[in-house]
Structures are given as structure tokens and as C-alpha cells.
Amino acid sequence: MHDLPPDLPRLRTLETWLTHTLDRVRQQIAAAGQREAERRHGEQVRPPEPDWLIEQGLDGRQAVYVHVGGCHMAGKRSKGVQRDQALRALADGVDACPHCRPESELGYPE
């Protein structure tokens, strides 16, 4: 038993459909390759993660927590700071994150 039509008009129709489908698949492959290249490029040019973070309160002016860089509990209002700024914030009474415990890594007395 044959799985293709026997007559020329239907074979041409099938050929046209398969050509169109193959073009769409190739376009999707190209788009996926482009996305992957952009993802790899983004990883290469991403700036390094800061060593220390200070999380600002809702008002955006008062610091509420000091975090170790990369802490999963650091909120979106966090900014990277230098070690001395993190130490100064702890000395000024800003709370240390209870999850990442930055005072331990900073050598700050508890």
C-alpha cells in the first residue's frame, strides 16, 4: 500500500505544502539559534554580582537590610555597595539579613 497520492496534481499540492512547512521549520530553527546566541552573549557581558547589598525601604531613602551579594532574600530595592559601606551600615544600626548573615562574612561583631 502506498502512502502518497498517485496523481500529479495532489503530489504537487503535497510538495508545495511540505516546502512551505520546511521553510517555517527553518525559520523557527534560525530564530531559536538567534535567541540562544543572544542569551550566551548576555551571560558573557553581564556585570559581576556585587559582594554586598544594601536594601532600601519602601521610601527609598532608609536602609533596612545589609545582604551578602546574591542573597535570595534581597529585594528589588537593593543596590551593590563596597565592603566598607556595608560595615558602616551595620555600625549605623541597619539590620543584617537573617538568611545570609553578612555580619559573619564581614567579620562584624554580632
Give the tens place of pLDDT for each residue, 53-96. Answer: 999 988 878 999 999 998 999 989 999 999 999 999 999 999 99
The per-residue pLDDT of the chain, averaged, comes to 92
What pLDDT is recorded for position 110?
64
Cα gap 92→70, rounded to integer Å: 23
Q: Give me the helices (H) in the chain, please.
A: 8-45, 83-91, 102-106
Tally helices (H) and strands (E) across the chain: 3, 4
What pLDDT is recorded for position 32?
98
Predicted model pTM: 0.62
